Amino acid sequence: MATHEQTLERLQYLATLYRQGYRSDTIDRSLDKIIALERAAAHREYADLRERLQAFETRYLHGCRQLEYLLRDVGVGASTPGHP
């Protein structure tokens, strides 16, 4: 597997070639596919994270509300005479 630095060097090499006027349909198509795959993966990850966050928030808020109702039922947090 290529290291981060190797990948950067390869991309810089391609950028240099293209700045010098080099063109390749194969490279263009390959880059389009790579970018599309990475974009799709990022969208899937984003959707998964949003779904997990929403589930967490739903559980957390539901648990907080249950605790609030329980504490209210046993009189914790309710004002008593002489106490605000």
How do the pLDDT tens digits run along the chain, 84 residues long?
Answer: 779 999 999 999 999 999 999 999 999 999 999 999 999 999 999 999 999 998 988 877 777 777 777 788 787 655 544 444
Q: What is the pLDDT of residue 83?
A: 46
Q: Does residue 45 form part of some domain? A: yes
List the domain range (segments joined by +) for residue 69: 19-73
Q: Does residue 11 form part of some domain? A: no
Cα distances (Å, whole numbers) of residue 79 to 64, 65, 69, 73:
20, 19, 15, 13
Q: Does residue 68 form part of some domain? A: yes
Q: What is the pLDDT of residue 7?
A: 95
Is the CB of residue 58 less than 8 Å from the CB of residue 52?
no
The residue behind tokens 């969208």 is 43
Spacing of C-alpha 37 from chain mean position: 16
Q: What is the pLDDT of residue 77?
A: 58
Q: Does residue 35 form part of some domain? A: yes
Q: Does residue 32 form part of some domain? A: yes
Whether pTM > 0.95 for this model: the answer is: no
Long-range contacts of 29-38 (CB under 8 A, 24+ apart): none
Q: Does residue 6 form part of some domain? A: no
Q: Does residue 65 form part of some domain? A: yes
Q: What is the pLDDT of residue 59?
A: 79
Rounded to the nearest 10°, the torsion over CA 43, 49, 50, 51 is 110
Q: Does residue 54 form part of some domain? A: yes
Number of domains in the chain: 1
